Structure 1
Amino acid sequence: MPHLQQLITRPLIVYGGDMFSARNRHSLMLPHHFHHISKLILILLYLPVCGDKRFLMEEMTKLPNITTLGLVVLACGHSFGAGSFHVLRMSSGIRELTPQLVTRSDCKAFAVCQSGCICAEPSNWETEDLVLPCLKELAINDLRGTEHELALVKRLFKWAAMLERVAVIFEDSIAESNCEELRRLLLSFSRPAICMKFSHGGCLPFD
């Protein structure tokens, strides 16, 4: 399929046991057949974590050359920095990144991450340097301003030294007063050369 422009995978389970490991391998088989994909959309799914689970993203060892990377994150209250970092480390040539932060109603029962949760591992993403030299545009959808979200966003500004434009769409349920506070915080992460736009719900495309 030499003219394929966009590919979306089945959800990838970030932490789990052998059964989910096998499922992930099936999801990753198709991208391996392509050298370049204009837009790749990966869905990172965080399930309730208990018992003998491990970080499964390390089994992802290669991705095609990608122009636009879409990350659909269903974190269910867990930290998603390590999983996102692992994907970005293999996608250093991306020009546009579009994280979609999804909140599911069935995640409410375990929306509070417990101390010592496996989602904090591996922790190297918080200290290890990552260079995204081609990344020019970042569009964050459904930002709620949680600690886990802001931790990753702050690192993204550091990793993408050539970033030019950032669009942030706040999640509908966020109060306007909280949106204003988040705007100020995000601008403190930014640099003068970056054009930042904000929207409360809906869609905010780049001009």
Structure 2
Amino acid sequence: MIEAFLAAWLGVALAQASPGPNMMAVASVALGQGRKAALLLVAGIGTGTLVWAAAVSFGLGALFSAFPLLLTLLKFAGGFYLLLIAYRALRAIVAGETSTVTASKAPLSDLDAWRRGFFVVMTNPKAALMWSAVATFLFGAGLGSAQVLAFGPMVALSAVAIYGTYGLLFSTGMAMRTYGRFWRAIEAAFGLAFGALGATLLVWGIRDLRS
């Protein structure tokens, strides 16, 4: 079991460290809202990770395989959510508001920051595909549902460590000062990146429907 856990965890950690909606959400909130909001968002991502672990341990991965339309719907949900974030970021630039891609001129409440992280990871098709692959690997290695469920805290801890590091880095004084000076360019970069990710997910969803 330990060998299977370590092999799966290594792949998951690499996926978590790679650029994607989770990392970008943490970076954008850290720059615009500060360290506390970023770390609360990270806590939301960690919570969502535990939910994914519980879901696949009780058969969600098999459900995605049996009913691909569910994953397609998730792609549309994630795509529209990322496009909404992108729209708000680009709208802030036009209006001259240094409000950040977190979508609010006012500071995020603790609950809003946590909820944003939770929603980002729960609507992230990358997470769905990763967890489906993890479940397939662990079940294929002979582990049971309880053992797959026990793998969740390992992944949640690595998510908190990896994304928390991003949150700390992007909320440093230097990063915040850089943002304050070049906020329009940074806002545009985040907005366009979120928009590209969202559009990509929608294209994938449309392709799924046509195939």
TM range (shorter): under 0.3
Report the structure, 1 or 2, having the larger helix content: 2
**Normalising by structure 1, what TM-score?**
0.22
**Normalising by structure 2, what TM-score?**
0.22
Report the structure, 1 or 2, having the larger strand content: 1
Q: Which structure has the larger Rg?
A: 2
Tell me: higher relative CO, structure 1 or 2? Use CA pairs within 8 A at least 6 residues apart.
2
